[in-house]
Chain A
């Protein structure tokens, strides 16, 4: 059935990837209590299996066609956006689980880390598919609460500060988001998107705008975009690198998918200035993120600010969601490219726990040539050098912006891309320099292998984009 309002579709198979991940998280929690400490890695293995099965299920569902569906009273959409979100988030979760294997091996709370990762990912999955304001609020909480814990997981001073900052910002903006939802509910007299899509165009524009701004606050917090970005550098620097990889990737994917859905379904016909608002936020995010990244010396802070600027580019297609046909395809492809490339860069950081500053990477080419090459591919990938995936993402995003009448934003994004080259090069230069320094120290092998794979995947996704791109343009559930 196609999901119109109120259909009685409650088939749990529609949510198979989410059910699998939830199941493995709960089972992992129980297993963790019984397994001896040296076998706790089985919890991560279970999570990896759930991710693999979930990806297979999501691809099968997408390949089977049959058009978009709205499951559970229209609260959860299963369409191209959800399917892409599932594949990207689950693949990202698998990467984070792999990265977490070595640093938490034998840790007293090893299984808890793996379970929290899966729960945070589950929240991101729900964000991507939610088609009802209340479900969106629940997904927000599900994505946030495990993340707060992950940020402070190491219980050291920087971690505690990171978690506190993250939690306070999240709680504040979460409340604002709930207020926004309340206002939208009052304006549209419904919480389901299809119903809102019919009602909101007739509601007072001021009310809709106020509600949307509130809602945006929460989602921008999850994406780490300006003005909800204050937690990003501290959380990334203070938490463990695998957790930082998760915080800057998975919630972003879910929240950006949610933003796109909001723009395309309930807000599509309204008179609120969505395009202008998001365009300004995009411009602010990419510019401020870049400016702040310029003179960072800690690699994790540099990456943190780089993710803030990346969200700026990602918000571009959201701004023109209803104006340009290629917007959805551009957003989803960029998200996939960003996720794999950003995780690759964090994998390099995880692989070299001894090197925390840019100077610490001096001599990386000599010591670990494969890792140096992966780092160059990932950083130049984030920059948008062809033929990596982010290049094609940027190409599509710029095209969508031009097509949607936001040429100035595309020009600004191009200028920001040039500016970002400056700080990516600040990292690449010492890595490829020859002389001096103590060297980057020993290598964590699983993380290094993940970095190689991510770098290769980033190129492969760019070169083999043809068939992927065709799958991303499908219609949304309504």
Chain B
């Protein structure tokens, strides 16, 4: 019996948030912001410790399984495996970056810091949950916390955007809940425990029931991911959210959707997943292409990044759908696809987090995201331009960055089982490359032009130390993951093998 270190990790930020709310506002913004940074750094340190103590071949570790509401089949069951560990690490990396980025925040700082710490607990808790209801609790609470982040600290149109975000993702979460109830009632004895359900495979041989449950679960997760056609909440939410909120929303919250596919939909509904995988492949490909095409048409920098998220998340769905195609000859390829999908979650989290923070830097200087308001910024702010360049090239999948490893694995793994769909998705990479490079060129090269404040041109100072401290580590990690992927792949690959065995039942 090990100490419940995972539980401590999950609830440490929430405890700190409660403590912050008990302090008087007069304590000063530095106290709140530095506490936030310190606590999220402590979480990061704990996660690193967790990672070093993790045994690659050992299945679920750091497990705690306690009775919670036994008569309703609900337990407090948390644990870490090769899927949750990279995502816990991603969460633990992004939150301190946001804390550093927000060091100059002045608006209602106590509530802002507390809200982000609470949000960190919901994210960590979700990735550690091994019980459907526990998963759902964190899923919903992350929505609530993000709603308040967007509505409270966003740009002028934030109230509407936040409401749209809440309505869409909450509707998705209720579809998810109905699916969970379907799984619960099918199991004997009734349970919400993910491990028990995966072992029992309660819907084996009940194709109609299984299809309905998969429809509900898939709908809920597709809204969160988001995939076309459920993505319409995403662009306004991102455009109106504060930079740190966008970074977490795109970096961590979107992963909850794809994580749910790998954690719940595939292992718990293997038969239906295999049957309906072509639909998910199609949705993935459409998201890849549609996201890229719409991003191409954007004039707003942040909105453009938001649409590239739709594109990048589409690859994950393509890979997961392709992994369901059975056949011994494609076993290695399908493993590659699942590993690539997980890798893409981490890679996209880091890169898009960095991009949204950079977009925040841009807005803080120029008060607009409109790309045609800027030109030749590289001359005025070389460090900012360089980092944006790195983030953009990493994001479009240049070798040497994490995005390349992820997308290469996804496409190489999906090509065997789903050649046509994969071929259709490849132009998405070209489109994204084209639009990102074009944006880079327009904003950073050419003659200097900056948005005017009334009368005089705005000053455009280069990156400040705390902003660089937030963004550089994210990009550095993307390089490390691009050059030395092995230490993550060693963790993920055993999980891919396990989940594919479950899907093949």
- Which residues in A have some Cβ–Cβ distance to B below 8 Å? 329, 365, 380, 385-387, 391-392, 395-396, 398-399, 402-403, 410-411, 414-415, 417-418, 421-422, 425, 429, 432-434, 465-466, 469-470, 473
Contact = CB atoms under 8 A, between A and B. Distances in A.
Max count, chain A CB within 10 A of own CB: residue among B151, B166, B177, B178:
B177
B470 interface: no
A395 B177 contact: yes
A117 B286 CA distance: 61
Contact of A425 (B68, B71, B163, B184): B163
A421 B170 contact: yes
Contacts of A417: 174
B62 interface: no
A309 to B, nearest CB: 15
Contacts, number: 76
Contact of B185 (A387, A402, A470): A402
B159 A398 contact: no
Contact of A465 (B69, B140, B171, B177): B69
B205 interface: no
Given A385-B141, A386-B141, A399-B185, A411 B178 contact: yes
Interface string B164-190: 001100110011011001101100000
A469 B141 contact: no
A470 to B, nearest CB: 5
B173 to A, nearest CB: 9
Interface in B113-169: 133, 136-137, 140-141, 144, 148, 151-152, 159, 163, 166-167
Interface string B453-471: 0000000000000000000
Contacts of A434: 107-108, 152
Interface in B11-46: none
B72 interface: yes
Contact of A386 (B68, B72, B137, B185): B137
B68 A399 contact: no
B72 A465 contact: yes
Given A386-B140, A411-B178, A429-B159, A403 B71 contact: no
11 contacts: A386-B136, A387-B137, A398-B181, A403-B185, A410-B181, A418-B171, A465-B72, A466-B67, A466-B71, A469-B69, A469-B72
Nearest to B136: A386
B71 A469 contact: yes
B174 A402 contact: no
List the 8 closest pairs (A to B, CB-CB), nearest first. Answer: A386-B137, A414-B174, A466-B69, A418-B171, A469-B71, A465-B69, A470-B71, A399-B181
B211 to A, nearest CB: 14
Nearest to A401: B181
B53 interface: no
A386 B170 CA distance: 12
A418 B71 contact: no
Given A410-B178, A418-B170, 7 more contacts: A380-B144, A385-B144, A386-B141, A395-B72, A399-B185, A432-B148, A470-B70
Interface residues on chain B, size class: 20 to 34
B167 A421 contact: yes
Contact of B167 (A387, A399, A422): A422
Contact of B70 (A396, A402, A421, A466): A466
A398 B170 contact: no
Contacts of B111: 365
Nearest to B175: A414
A392 B108 CA distance: 33
Contacts of B69: 392, 465-466, 469
Contacts of A403: 185
A421 B174 CA distance: 12
Contact of B177 (A398, A415, A433): A398
Contacts of B141: 385-387
Nearest to A471: B71
A410 B180 CA distance: 13
Contacts of B133: 386, 395
Mostly, the A contact residues are helix
Nearest to A386: B137
Contacts of B72: 392, 395-396, 399, 465, 469
B178 A398 contact: yes
B149 to A, nearest CB: 11
A277 B181 CA distance: 24
Contact of B140 (A385, A425, A466, A473): A385
B447 to A, nearest CB: 39
B302 to A, nearest CB: 23
B176 to A, nearest CB: 10
A425 B162 CA distance: 10
A418 B167 contact: yes
Interface in B55-71: 67-71
Given A414-B175, A422-B167, A473 B71 contact: yes
Contacts of B175: 414
Nearest to A330: B72
B68 A466 contact: yes
A329 B182 CA distance: 19
B167 A414 contact: no
B444 to A, nearest CB: 35
B137 A402 contact: no
Contacts of B174: 414-415, 417-418
Contacts of A396: 72
B131 to A, nearest CB: 12
Nearest to B70: A466
Nearest to A426: B163
Nearest to A417: B174
Contacts of A387: 137, 141
Nearest to B180: A395
A461 to B, nearest CB: 11
A417 B163 CA distance: 15
B179 to A, nearest CB: 11
Nearest to B139: A386
Contacts of A415: 174
B224 to A, nearest CB: 14
Contacts of B182: 402
Nearest to A373: B21
Nearest to A324: B185
A466 B212 CA distance: 29
A397 to B, nearest CB: 10
A365 B152 CA distance: 11
A432 B182 CA distance: 37
A465 to B, nearest CB: 5
Contacts of A380: 144
Contacts of A465: 69, 72
Interface in B318-377: none
A36 B170 CA distance: 54
A470 B72 CA distance: 9
B178 to A, nearest CB: 6
B181 A395 contact: yes
Contacts of B163: 422, 425, 429
